[in-house]
C-alpha cells in the first residue's frame, strides 16, 4: 500500500521512497499531523 503523508522527520533521516512508521500527533503545521517514529525500509543507497 502506498499513501503520501506530510510527516515530521526531526532528524532528517528519511528520503523520498522510504517506507516508514508514523504516528498521529498534535498539529505541527497547517497540514502536518504525523511524526516519523521508525524507518522500515530505506530506498537510499547510502552514498
Strand order in the sheet with 34-41: 7-8, 34-41, 19-24
The pLDDT, as a whole number, for residue 45 is 66
pLDDT along the chain (47 residues), means of 10: 88 92 96 96 75
0.85 surpassed by pTM: no
What is residue 32's DSSP assignment? -
Query: Considering only CA atoms, which of 6, 17, 11 is closest in space to residue 42?
Result: 17
Amino acid at each position: 500500500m502506498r499513501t503520501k503523508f506530510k510527516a515530521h522527520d526531526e532528524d532528517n533521516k528519511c528520503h523520498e521512497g522510504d517506507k516508514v512508521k508514523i504516528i498521529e500527533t498534535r498539529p505541527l503545521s497547517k497540514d502536518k499531523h504525523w511524526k516519523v517514529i521508525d524507518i522500515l525500509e530505506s530506498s537510499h543507497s547510502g552514498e
